[in-house]
Amino acid sequence: MQATATPSSSKRKSITAALAVAVLLAVAGAGYLAVSSKTRAPDVTFIGLNGEKISSQSLRGKVVMVNFWATSCTTCVHEMPQMVETYNKYKGQGLEFVAVAMSYDRADYVLNYAETRKLPFKVALDTTGALANSFGDVKLTPTTFVIDKQGNILKRYVGEPEFPALHRLLEKALAT
């Protein structure tokens, strides 16, 4: 009979705890997961609730936040007042904001939400899922992209961002 080496009970517990922490940080990310990137934002056209077409080209020269969300997403609904505050704080400095409702979200729900909460920024429908696909096949909501004036993705947040850090990023991007 050959003996096999197995980690001690305390070592297994340490490994298990470390893995649990890693998973929690990856999934919850203390409320968000931010991935730094210098990739180009896709060239897309957003269709606003009123039928308005907003091309990503027309947004060049401005810092843009693109927020994929859904009315059925509790985190999205929770973060939306802070998204409104963020937009109102920086719109005078050149911030644009497009809230993109996911393809599975009913248009009448999105319209009702936008109207009853008086969302001050552009709200678009992604009825086919093409926008989510263009931005790297977004599946999780909320997912927010911060795009610089040249059209490069500065940051991708999955989940609710830490707003003070987001504000610092926006201030830096708006200043350049």
The ranges of the chain with pLDDT < 70 are 1-37
Q: Where are the alpha helices (DSSP H) in 50-106?
A: 74-90
Residue 20 domain flag: no
Strand 143-147 vs strand 153-159: parallel, antiparallel, or unpaired?
A: antiparallel
Residue 52 domain flag: yes
Task: Return the pLDDT at 48.
Answer: 96
Task: Return the pLDDT at 8.
Answer: 52
Strand 153-159 vs strand 32-36: parallel, antiparallel, or unpaired?
A: antiparallel
Residue 91 domain flag: yes
Residue 11 domain flag: no
Task: Return the pLDDT at 23.
Answer: 33
Residue 22 domain flag: no
Task: Return the pLDDT at 13.
Answer: 45
Residue 132 sits in a domain whose CATH number is 3.40.30.10
Range of the domain at 112: 31-175
What is the edge-to-edge ordering of all strands in the sheet holding 153-159?
32-36, 153-159, 143-147, 63-69, 95-101, 122-125
Residue 6 domain flag: no
Number of domains in the chain: 1
Task: Return the pLDDT at 35.
Answer: 45
* pLDDT tens, residue by residue, 132-168: 999 999 999 999 999 999 999 999 999 999 999 999 9
Residue 2 domain flag: no
* pLDDT tens, residue by residue, 35-48: 444 799 999 999 99
